[in-house]
Structure 1
Amino acid sequence: MSDVYLCVHCCAHVIIGKPLFSPLSPSPAHLTNMDTSELFDDRKSDVNAPPSYDAVPTSALSTDYLQCRPPSIFSRQRIKQTRTTVLSLIRDMVSAPDFTPSSVVPIVDACAASLPAAEFTNLLQTSNIEGHTALYWAIVNNRREALVAFFRFIPKYTSTSYSDLRLACMATSDHALFMNLKLYAVANNRDEPLKRSLGCPPDEIEVHGGNSQNQFTVDMQIRMFQKRLRIAQKMVVEFVAKGRIWFLLFDMGHEAKWHIKLCLCQHSLPARPNAVLLIQAQNGQHEVLKIGFPLEADKSLAPEEYITFYIRTCTSIDATLGDWLMYNDTIYTDSDGTLHAKLEVTLP
């Protein structure tokens, strides 16, 4: 059987009677049909499909550059050669300086058609580009069109790509993308199923700059706060700010009192935050509840893996919440059980 060459200049080409750019398996539910202009809008979860592609120059993907045989007669050598070619194309797409957004969709579709679906999905989620995945470099180098195109062929994250996506959002301090891709779920493996069971709407966590470059604020609306905390007895709120992934942990301390802890996630660099949590009273007659996070002088907050490398570090800064969390008619949640709070942080 003669070779069938891939050509992005002619949409009528077919492989084994199927369209060259046929749809593959669905992408993650929260990214289905998402275009590049709205991927980073946290208010939207389902938007229009990616824009149609333009013609690609012959130099980008020539008939001599990428060829495909029916999967049934792929030799191991040809699969290896095709995989190498596809990886080279993907690498250029996420890192080459002469990036052309309009060429992304046809090239990605051609690459996907040249390999078995599982093989292409695995290639996108393997750390094969300078120790990271293609997804990581698409975020770090701001190749949003490529990121959207890749997600069309990823029905489910692997642990490697999940971790890499979190690292990319941390490197770019992109909290909006972190929330949009629901990467916070890695720390909420118990809370997310509970929220689904309760029919709980998504929490709203927004990060804003402060009055100076060393400040930031985190506005939080935590849905069904009391109910979730009473059932799970623990809750984590993650956010990205100043090149780090932080989290607040609500739980019952060893002394049988409710605590809140400010911590840094894995791979985040140490910091010395001066932080205060402001919880809004909902009846209009009480002042804001202020909860400070005392940090010892000359001591820094660090993730657990850094504790053995840095002296004078701690893994969390603890504060006491009190037992108002258990009150049925507490003034610190609204009629829907939502907690409205703001974290103010200053870094030296």
Structure 2
Amino acid sequence: MATDSKVADDSSTPPSYDTISASPIQCDQSSIFSFRRMKKKRTAVLSRIRDIVLAPNLILSSVVPNVNACAAALPATEFSKLLKQLNIEGHTALYWAIVNNRPQALWALHGFISGMSPSVYSDLRIACMITNDYTMFKELKFGNLSDRRSRCFLGCLPDEVQVHTCDEPTNQFDVVFRIRMFQKRLRTATAKSLRFEFVAGGRIWWLRFYILEPSNGLCCADIGLSQHSYQVRFDAVLLIEAHSRKPDRAAPPEALEIILSITGTEFLALVPWQ
């Protein structure tokens, strides 16, 4: 008796479990090791920077070589990023360099920062405020907040601001401003405003002159506290003196004395003295 038989198609037969192989997950071991090495370097560099700005009995001659060694251990962008972070007790390394009066460390580290971030800017201002260090505040170019470009166009020299402590227990101080080309700069400034900052009494203050429209030959002056400064009640007197005398006058005019309050606004006559 003849029988029909069909040959099974091998291609449709599922493979044996014994023949299935699992492909290993591809992993770039070199990238993992590189990341770990970079993390260790960052930790070691941060530890050394911490010693530079915090450790007691610092040898000044070792500051620059140590900072350069830290910079050489990391790529420039990584080192700059590290210095911008609030990674030492909630502050930047530059903050502690100011607080602990280590200007060598400050300027050595400052030179490796590319672009001042808002957090670094704020941190340095706070450090100058709590140390009452107006000299450092000026060196970091925080004082004059207005018309730098127009002053350059006019060929005007930088203004001079000096802070003098009169009576420290009662927190009294004098601030002397020498504002060059005052009227011309005020009238040509884009915002019709000149604003100055200074550090005194453990606070950051601002003094502003501005023109209201229509001005009628008058400008306004007001004073206040900048961000992060503690509130205070104060008495202030604005004394305006002529910086030179006319050739046909024996003596300059009397100084203009104006009482200022932290919320009040006073008006000043913007007319040349005769």
Normalised TM-score (structure 2): 0.79
Alignment equivalent of 2:122, drawn from 163, 167, 173: 163
Q: Which residue of 1 aligns with 2:209?
A: 250
Q: Which residue of 2 aligns with 1:272?
A: 233
Deviation at 1:156, TM superposition (A): 3.1
SS of equivalent to 1:173: coil
* Separation in structure 1 between the aligned mates of residue 90 and residue 187 of structure 2, nearest angstrom: 42
Does residue 290 of the first structure (1) align with residue 247 of the second (2)?
A: no
Conservation of the 8 A alpha-carbon contact between 1:162 and 1:183: no
Report the CA distance shift for 1:107/1:222 in structure 2 as closer, same or farther (over 3 A): same
Normalised TM-score (structure 1): 0.63
Alignment equivalent of 1:200, drawn from 145, 156, 172: 156
Partner letter of residue 267 of structure 2? T
CA RMSD of aligned residues (A): 2.1
Alignment equivalent of 1:219, drawn from 176, 186, 207: 176
- CA displacement, residues 149-201 of structure 1 (integer Å, 9 cap, x when unaligned): 1122124322221111111111111111111110125x33xx12222222221
Deviation at 1:255, TM superposition (A): 7.8
Report the CA distance shift for 1:200/1:73 in structure 2 as closer, same or farther (over 3 A): farther
* Separation in structure 2 between the aligned mates of residue 135 and residue 77 of structure 1, nearest angstrom: 27
* Separation in structure 1 between the aligned mates of residue 49 and residue 116 of structure 2, nearest angstrom: 18
Partner letter of residue 208 of structure 1? H
Q: Which residue of 2 aligns with 1:60?
A: none
Does residue 318 of the first structure (1) align with residue 274 of the second (2)?
A: no
Q: Normalized per residue, which structure has more helix?
A: 2
Q: Which of the pair has the greater relative contact order for Cα pairs under 8 Å at 6+ separation?
A: 1
Q: Which residue of 1 aligns with 2:11?
A: none
Report the CA distance shift for 1:117/1:129 in structure 2 as closer, same or farther (over 3 A): same
Alignment equivalent of 1:80, drawn from 20, 36, 39: 39
SS of equivalent to 1:317: coil
Choose 1 or 2 for highest CA Rg: 2
% same residue: 50
Alignment equivalent of 2:112, drawn from 141, 145, 153: 153
User: Which aligned pairs between 1:1-348 and structure 2 lie closer than 5 A?
Assistant: 75-185=34-144, 187-188=145-146, 191-211=147-167, 213=169, 214-232=171-189, 233-253=192-212, 256=215, 257-281=218-242, 282-283=244-245, 284-293=251-260, 295=261, 301=262, 316-322=263-269, 325=270, 327=271, 329-330=272-273
